[in-house]
């Protein structure tokens, strides 16, 4: 990890990337902070040009290193404004790496700005999950709580695909500018640094205290710090800040890790003077899980088979005998179909002419209506519908709780063959005349019964009497009815002429006589007649 202070490449990176007396790493995780100058324009939009320039410079360093045993390739990179991470791997192990993802999380200006935040890359090496993280937390000597809050925002808010978080991985490495300072005066810190009394400084280190109090990086470890503070130097020199601000030296650049598979081999800083920070590096050995999936599947099948056998034998653990099982012969069972009602007739095709022969309806058993004598007052002829379906086996008669009335019964035979009576010859479509409002077809369960209007003597009820207007008070109550009005009122002795039998009959003689109208005065009567 290295805070570049927006400086470009210029000096050799061998002391940082290829420290002496160390084997060639299989994977490099290289983190940068302030890779660009944090101007308002850069904060609003990430500029990848500087990152690409550093990517090229790093890969050239791999090509030009003194001892070259393996080839490396640029595997993945990600950037959030000035914070970036670059993953470089040996070409020989790239085939064992899969599920590579990257994610970012802003913390500047309450999550709106990317001048501060975190960047992560996760991947699977064989069957072990690894997460590489970098970040740039809040600056300022006294902003300890702000740095704690930034860490919690990143660790809890940064997530990869399928909802994976940082803590969901077996191996986690943070290499970053955490910006934690030393809680001493500037003079004391500089004196302890000059005397290499690092233990006195570490006792006042804000990050170590926060980890001891379980406020940040719970469960993480850090290697022993045996190097001087990495911040803040005058650019290009070995002198700590000599400006008017005279910032207190601190270990802002650190590497933390989590995972039982990791073993720290080296933790130190490199003496590169391009920036006001010194770069830091750590070397780890990692134990990677590699699963034989063929053997795993075979073991899983054996376990499932054992579980099924244990479940089968659990019922006979007390010495019970196995139940005898007799073979079951296949028996075909005919499904009994439920009878259905015949189709509903229509005015065009539902009623047969008298030349049509009636076919018995055998799709349903006769209902209770067949055993009831029809009413003698309403001898209604019946009519059956033709059914195109084949006859089905006889079904036992059902007992119905419905007791039909005499006006809804139909007369037909109850023979053992359940045949309906023949269709009468006098049934025609004209029997459903619109002038007979009381004639309604009905069903007896076997067929539709349509009564004839000519065979019934039922008549429509008489109309109510017409109301006679009340005479006005100006009329003469003793005067007789004017002659001009007599022809427009029917007398009580008049009767209506006879009408055909299939039409509605109205008897005028059955109406109540109109009330007697009092006579008008002579003067009023003469004036009304002249008018």
pLDDT in tens, 7-61: 999 999 999 999 999 999 999 999 999 999 877 777 777 789 999 999 999 999 9
How many C-beta atoms surround the C-beta of residue 175 within 10 A? 24
User: Looking at residue 517, what is its pLDDT?
Assistant: 60
Contact (CB, 8 A) for 108 and 148:
no
Same domain assignment for residues 72 and 208:
yes
Same domain, 47 and 163: yes
Distances (CA, A) of 206 to 156, 178, 211, 224, 251: 21, 10, 9, 16, 10
In-domain check, residue 488: no
Q: Is 375 buried (19+), middle (13-18) or exposed (0-12) by CB count in 10 A? A: middle
| Cα within 13 Å of Cα(352), Cβ side | 19
Same structural domain, 378 and 266: no
Check whether residue 105 and residue 228 sit in a common domain. yes
Quick check: is 122 in a domain? yes
The pLDDT assigned to 462 comes to: 75
Cα–Cα distance measured from residue 89 to residue 92, given in angstroms and rounded to the nearest whole number: 8
DSSP H helices in 278-435: 293-313
Residue 507 has pLDDT above 60, yes or no: no
How far is the C-alpha of 173 from the C-alpha of 117, rounded, in Å?
16
Percent of the chain's residues with pLDDT above 90: 49
Residue 432 has pLDDT above 60, yes or no: no
Confidence tier at 188 by pLDDT (50, 70, 90): very high
On the question of pLDDT at 529 being above 90, the answer is no
Domain boundary (243, 267, 286) is at 286
132 - beta bridge partners? 121, 173
Q: Which of 26, 15, 30, 102 is nearest to 65 (CA)?
A: 15
How would you class 61 by CB atoms within 10 Å of its CB: exposed for 0-12, middle for 13-18, buried for 19 or more?
Answer: middle
Is there a single domain that holds both residue 127 and residue 240?
yes
Indicate if 114 and 209 belong to the same structural domain.
yes
Distance of alpha carbon 250 from alpha carbon 244, whole angstroms: 17
- Judged by average pLDDT, the poorest of 175-184, 193-202, 290-299, 392-401 is 392-401
Q: Which two tokens stand for residue 394?
A: 């006889």
Radius of gyration from C-alpha coordinates of the chain: 54
CA angle 408, 413, 419 (to 5 degrees): 110
Residues 374 and 275 in one domain: no
- The stretch 318-329 carries a mean pLDDT of 50
According to DSSP, the β-strands at 72-80 and 171-177 are unpaired
In the block, tokens 């320039």 appear at 53
Residue 58, domain member (yes or no): yes
**Same-domain pairing of 277 and 369:** no
Cα distances from 155 to residues 135, 152, 169, 171, in angstroms, run: 10, 5, 12, 15
Cα-to-chain-centroid distance, residue 277:
51
Tell me the mean pLDDT in the region 193-220.
Answer: 97
Contact status, residue 31 vs residue 85, Cβ threshold 8 Å: yes
- Residue 518's nearest CA partner among 466, 483, 471 is 471
Shared domain check, 379 and 281: no
pLDDT band with cut points at 50, 70 and 90 for residue 108: confident
CA distance 328 to 339: 32
Torsion of CA 106, 108, 114, 115, to 10 degrees: -140
Contact 506, 462 (CB under 8 A): yes
Sign of CA dihedral 5, 10, 11, 12: positive
Beta-bridge partners for 415: none
Range of the domain at 399: 356-456
> Rounded mean pLDDT of 398-411?
52
The residue ranking higher by pLDDT, 484 or 464, is 464
Which helix (H) or strand (E) covers residue 284, if one does? strand 280-286
- 3-state class of 246 per DSSP? coil
Distance CA 9, CA 172 (A): 28
Q: Residue 210 has what pLDDT?
A: 97
Which of 240, 261, 286 finishes a domain? 286
Residues in the chain: 531
In-domain check, residue 172: yes
- For residues 41 and 454, what is the distance between their CA atoms, to the nearest angstrom? 102
- Helix and strand totals (H; E) in the chain: 9, 14
In eight-state DSSP terms, residue 314 is: G
Specify the higher pLDDT residue, 374 or 300: 300
| CATH for 282 | 3.60.10.10
Q: What is the mean pLDDT of residues 132-145?
A: 96
Asked if pLDDT for residue 364 goes beyond 60, the answer is no
- On whether both 241 and 94 belong to a single domain, the answer is yes
Edge to edge, what strands does the sheet with 2-3 contain?
Answer: 2-3, 27-33, 83-90, 72-80
Check residues 275 and 349 and name the one with the higher pLDDT: 275
Q: 248 and 163 in contact (C-beta within 8 Å)?
A: no
Mean pLDDT of the chain: 76
Whether 302 is in a domain gets the answer no
Distances (CA, A) of 20 to 2, 51, 66, 266: 19, 27, 11, 11
Domain boundary among 230, 253, 286: 286
In a domain, residue 327? The reply is no
> Taking the C-alpha atoms of 208, 210, 212 and 217 in order, what is their torsion angle to the nearest 10 degrees?
-90
How many domains is the chain partitioned into structurally? 2
CA-based nearest residue to 420, from 410, 407, 429: 410
- Please check whether residues 94 and 204 belong to one and the same domain: yes
Q: What is the tens place of the pLDDT at every residue in 237-289?
A: 999 999 999 999 999 999 999 999 999 999 999 999 999 999 999 999 999 99
Do residues 196 and 102 both lie within one domain? Answer: yes
Is 360 a residue whose pLDDT tops 50? no
Instruction: Give the Cα separation of 27 and 24 in Å (integer).
Output: 9
- CA 409-410-414 angle, 5° bins: 110
Q: How far apart are CA 357 and CA 386, in angstroms?
A: 9
Query: 1-10, 141-150, 228-237, 382-391: lowest mean pLDDT where?
Result: 382-391
Question: CA 182, CA 232: separation in Å to the nearest integer?
Answer: 12
Tens-place pLDDT, residues 55-105: 999 999 999 998 888 999 999 999 999 999 999 999 999 999 999 999 999
Cα separation, 225 vs 268, whole angstroms: 8
How far is the CA of 272 from the CAs of 50, 176, 238, 251, 278, in angstroms?
19, 17, 10, 16, 6
Enter the pTM of the model: 0.59
The answer to whether residue 399 scores a pLDDT higher than 90 is no
Considering the domain boundaries, does residue 34 fall inside one? yes
């Amino acid at each position: 990890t290295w805070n570049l202070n927006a400086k470009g490449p210029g000096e050799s990176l061998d002391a940082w990337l290829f420290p002496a007396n160390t084997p060639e790493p299989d994977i490099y995780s290289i983190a940068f902070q302030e890779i660009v100058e944090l101007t308002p324009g850069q904060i609003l939009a990430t500029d990848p040009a500087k990152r690409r320039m550093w990517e090229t410079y790093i890969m050239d360093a791999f090509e030009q290193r003194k001892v070259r045993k393996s080839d490396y390739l640029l595997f993945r990179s990600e950037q959030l404004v000035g914070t970036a991470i670059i993953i470089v791997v040996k070409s020989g192990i790239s085939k064992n790496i899969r599920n590579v993802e990257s994610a970012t999380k802003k913390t500047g200006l309450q999550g709106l700005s990317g001048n501060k935040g975190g960047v992560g890359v996760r991947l699977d090496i064989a069957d072990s999950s690894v997460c590489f993280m970098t970040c740039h937390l809040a600056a300022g000597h006294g902003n300890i709580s702000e740095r704690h809050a930034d860490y919690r925002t990143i660790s809890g808010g940064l997530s990869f695909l399928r909802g994976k978080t940082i803590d969901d991985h077996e191996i986690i490495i943070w290499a970053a500018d955490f910006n934690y300072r030393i809680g001493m005066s500037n003079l004391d810190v500089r004196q302890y640094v000059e005397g290499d009394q690092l233990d006195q400084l570490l006792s006042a280190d804000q990050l170590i205290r926060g980890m001891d109090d379980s406020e940040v990086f719970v469960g993480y470890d850090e290697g022993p710090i045996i190097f001087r503070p990495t911040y803040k130097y005058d650019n290009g020199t070995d002198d700590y800040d000599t400006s008017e601000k005279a910032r207190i030296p601190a270990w802002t650049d650190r590497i933390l890790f989590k995972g039982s598979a990791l073993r720290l081999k080296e933790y130190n800083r490199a003496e590169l003077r391009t920036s006001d920070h010194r770069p830091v590096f750590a070397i780890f050995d990692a134990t990677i899980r590699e699963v034989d999936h063929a053997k795993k599947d075979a073991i899983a099948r054996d376990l499932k088979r054992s579980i099924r056998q244990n479940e089968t034998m659990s019922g006979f653990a007390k010495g019970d005998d196995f139940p005898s099982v007799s073979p079951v012969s296949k028996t075909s069972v005919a499904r009994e179909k439920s009878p259905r009602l015949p189709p509903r007739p229509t005015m065009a095709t539902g009623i047969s002419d008298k030349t049509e022969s009636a076919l018995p309806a055998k799709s349903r058993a006769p209902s209770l209506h067949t055993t009831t004598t029809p009413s003698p007052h309403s001898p209604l002829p019946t009519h059956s519908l033709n059914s195109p379906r084949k006859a089905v086996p006889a079904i036992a008669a059902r007992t119905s709780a419905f007791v039909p009335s005499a006006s809804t019964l139909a007369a037909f035979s109850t023979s053992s063959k359940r045949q309906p009576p023949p269709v009468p010859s006098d049934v025609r479509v004209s029997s459903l005349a619109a002038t007979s409002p009381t004639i309604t077809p009905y069903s007896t369960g076997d067929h539709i019964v349509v009564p004839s209007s000519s065979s019934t003597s039922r008549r429509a009820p008489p109309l109510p009497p017409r109301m006679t207007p009340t005479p006005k008070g100006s009329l003469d109550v003793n005067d007789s009815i004017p002659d001009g009005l007599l022809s427009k009122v029917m007398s009580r002795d008049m009767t209506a002429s006879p009408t055909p039998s299939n039409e509605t009959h109205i008897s005028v003689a059955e109406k109540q006589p109109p009330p007697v109208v009092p006579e008008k005065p002579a003067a009023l009567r003469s004036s009304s007649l002249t008018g």
